Chain A
């Protein structure tokens, strides 16, 4: 493996990748992505957004229609998967049912024709890393979902690849186990300084595990950034709506003064939000406000809008209140359950408002 990678290049670089299966419909369009060594990058998006295809192109099971993939500067996009030396954890694990756990894990070493003793030693070591040493002689069919997941992880790690791809590896597990394994995968990735490309459609998994997240939709990366960036500074409406909950108010831009943009909603109500590149005076825009950024009060306050409570849901640590504005737009307000401020009842009239810095004026 080339170690002398130019410092201004990433460890894995995808440039100008497009992919089409039928020659007309683009599954991935103009994808540019630079992945740093040791980085945990998550590809997040709805199904059909191109994230899995991107992973498959990295793994070598699909070839890009145009563009190239380089690992440490060397082009790999036309290499077959077995030459790429990339570990992969599959959805549903893809463990070989006719082999024991140890044989599964040792497979990558056996096909590399390592001596038996060396295979045994490394299999034992990696099984200890994932706490499965005592199950080495079992068949995968006898293991629980969590144990199978660890075997799949061990198998992808045993030949010491620097890059590991994971395709929704925790999708089939229950919530508790998933959270536990998220933590473990993160630990292992850090310990072995792995470059991980992780595909998921579970945004909480993406937010908690990743160094950076690439939000995919319609074959394009919608936003690439840290979890905090993505959550707090959505670049477009898709990201705002896809990651976490957001209230969206559609209106026409009436005025832009520096950072602050004013929108006029359908019924004439004026709301304020932060200016972004999407804002054109006179054009349509959507203001996105997080439910937790909304303030709700029984009394009107500065910049507040009158609204009617249509539903109130108790969620343990918080209360979600659904209110309806004069122009029939629905808003969700999240407030701490213990807050003494207001416990709305259905039909009650309340006043909601937000600091304009917490709202983003995005594409319509």
Chain B
């Protein structure tokens, strides 16, 4: 449509026409988005908001500042925070009294335990003698009484932990989740966390995920090739077998591995009947069991993208290579496989990312040394109620998966001509 602009026509009318057209285009775009509204609403409710809450929880660190605001202010402002003066003890006792009443004492004690060895006991001991009677005495006496209640108050560790937790938002949990030493000993030295070695847990998570990914690709590639290239009954049967696990729940599949691998299970029976071993092998609760079960569960996710890419490779390509003198193997490696790479990458990526977050299977068939990050997230959430650390671990997991997945998924989308 052309809008002739004649001198008679006021220029505003032409401008109006342009605006109208833009508005119409914007309305069309908006209307095209309408069918996605339920999904967008769903994602906002169940992905964006929980994620925001996780981020907030990971950085929120307000128990100390909430219970002991004045104490914290005094030690942060003082010249030597680690060795506070008598007046700080007086403020501490005042605030502990208030905290007892307002219910902030227990969270404070828990948070102090995260920051310093014996922190919880120190808080509870001091709070026990923080009565009205003590508050009326002079500062030096209060100091002596507090130190008598728990010797940790004499060392710098408690005060350092208090100063470190003085802000309402901090990197405390994130540093902890990344394996940095965030805990002090009573004498002010950094204490290493002997219970949880998070870098080792991340490394274990990545190693298990990599091993599972490599195995699924190695097993899945020939399988996908057969499915993709055989048109008849065999192909249909194989697709059925690949998809079969999808019809049963993850829990059932994992439980069946327990039946398979337990001490008097099917696998041991077979091994003994075959004369390969004389004693039942400890198969369950091992790294072997974890990897085996995960491979079985992940296989469809690896194979399906491969099949879809392989099906799109015309059989005439391999034939052309053969007619040009290539052996079947050479033709496969030089013509078929390079074209299947986007499918392999997509399947591997999907499997790897899903493996990073595996919880149930390692928890049920793995040993204590086979637990992955998700297991510890669950433990801190459900058992220890350390939600800050659980959230921080989740953030590290999400960030790690993103860093690994993004470049690969960009590679896949540029090399698969829009099939994904």
Instruction: Tell which of A92, A98, A159, A165 touches B325, judged by Cβ atoms closer than 8 Å.
Output: A159
B321-A86 in contact (CB<8A): no
Inter-chain CA distance A88–B328, complex, in Å, is: 17
Inter-chain CA distance A147–B118, complex, in Å, is: 80
B317-A82 in contact (CB<8A): no
B320-A112 in contact (CB<8A): no
* B326 at the binding interface (Cβ < 8 Å): yes
Residues of B within 8 A of A60 (CB): 322-323
The chain A residues found within 8 Å of chain B, CB to CB, are 59-61, 80-82, 84-88, 90-92, 94-98, 107-108, 111-112, 155-156, 159, 165
Inter-chain CA distance A98–B232, complex, in Å, is: 29
A selection of 22 A-B contacts at a CB cut-off of 8 Å is: A60-B323, A82-B327, A84-B323, A87-B323, A88-B320, A88-B323, A90-B319, A94-B314, A96-B317, A96-B320, A96-B321, A97-B339, A107-B324, A107-B334, A108-B324, A111-B321, A111-B330, A111-B334, A155-B320, A156-B323, A159-B324, A159-B325
Inter-chain CA distance A96–B330, complex, in Å, is: 14
Q: How far is the CB of B262 from chain A (nearest CB, A)?
A: 48
Q: 7 other contacts beyond A87-B323, A112-B325, A155-B324, with CB at 8 A cut-off?
A: A59-B323, A80-B322, A82-B324, A82-B325, A96-B320, A155-B320, A165-B323
Q: How far is the CB of A98 from chain B (nearest CB, A)?
A: 5
Residues of B within 8 A of A156 (CB): 323-324
Inter-chain CA distance A90–B319, complex, in Å, is: 9
Q: How far is the CB of A85 from chain B (nearest CB, A)?
A: 7
* B335 at the binding interface (Cβ < 8 Å): yes
Of all chain A residues, the one with the shortest Cβ separation from B322 is A81
Q: How far is the CB of B194 from chain A (nearest CB, A)?
A: 53
A91-B316 in contact (CB<8A): yes
Residues of A within 8 A of B321 (CB): 96, 107, 111
A111-B335 in contact (CB<8A): no
Knowing A94-B314, A94-B317 are in contact, say whether A81-B323 is a contact too (CB < 8 A): yes
Q: How far is the CB of A154 from chain B (nearest CB, A)?
A: 12
Residues of A within 8 A of B369 (CB): none
Q: How far is the CB of A363 from chain B (nearest CB, A)?
A: 37
Of all chain A residues, the one with the shortest Cβ separation from B336 is A96
B330-A92 in contact (CB<8A): no
Residues of A within 8 A of B323 (CB): 59-60, 81-82, 84, 86-88, 156, 165
A92-B324 in contact (CB<8A): no
Inter-chain CA distance A155–B317, complex, in Å, is: 13
B316-A92 in contact (CB<8A): yes
SS class of chain B's interface: helix, strand, loop or mixed? helix
Q: How far is the CB of B354 from chain A (nearest CB, A)?
A: 28
Residues of A within 8 A of B322 (CB): 60-61, 80-82
* B222 at the binding interface (Cβ < 8 Å): no
B326-A98 in contact (CB<8A): no
Knowing A96-B335, A97-B339, A98-B339 are in contact, say whether A82-B326 is a contact too (CB < 8 A): yes
Inter-chain CA distance A102–B123, complex, in Å, is: 78
* B199 at the binding interface (Cβ < 8 Å): no
Inter-chain CA distance A96–B316, complex, in Å, is: 10
Residues of A within 8 A of B325 (CB): 82, 85, 108, 111-112, 159
Instruction: Tell which of A84, A85, A94 touches B319, judged by Cβ atoms closer than 8 Å.
Output: A94
* B368 at the binding interface (Cβ < 8 Å): no
Residues of B within 8 A of A165 (CB): 323
A81-B335 in contact (CB<8A): no
Residues of A within 8 A of B326 (CB): 82, 107, 111
Inter-chain CA distance A61–B328, complex, in Å, is: 12
Inter-chain CA distance A258–B339, complex, in Å, is: 66
7 closest Cβ pairs, A-B complex? A108-B324, A94-B316, A94-B320, A88-B323, A81-B322, A111-B326, A98-B338
Q: How far is the CB of A155 from chain B (nearest CB, A)?
A: 7
A111-B316 in contact (CB<8A): no
Inter-chain CA distance A88–B317, complex, in Å, is: 12
Of all chain A residues, the one with the shortest Cβ separation from B314 is A94
Knowing A92-B314, A96-B335, A97-B339 are in contact, say whether A111-B324 is a contact too (CB < 8 A): yes
Q: How far is the CB of A310 from chain B (nearest CB, A)?
A: 46
Inter-chain CA distance A85–B322, complex, in Å, is: 10
Residues of A within 8 A of B316 (CB): 90-92, 94
Those of B270-328 within 8 Å (CB) of chain A: 314, 316-317, 319-328
Of all chain B residues, the one with the shortest Cβ separation from A83 is B325
Inter-chain CA distance A92–B313, complex, in Å, is: 13
Of all chain A residues, the one with the shortest Cβ separation from B320 is A94
Inter-chain CA distance A6–B174, complex, in Å, is: 86
B330-A81 in contact (CB<8A): no
Of all chain B residues, the one with the shortest Cβ separation from A96 is B335
Q: How far is the CB of A208 from chain B (nearest CB, A)?
A: 26
Residues of A within 8 A of B324 (CB): 82, 107-108, 111, 155-156, 159
Residues of B within 8 A of A82 (CB): 322-327, 331
Inter-chain CA distance A92–B317, complex, in Å, is: 10
| Chain B 334-360 interface 0/1 with A at a Cβ cutoff of 8 Å (1 = within) | 110011000000000000000000000
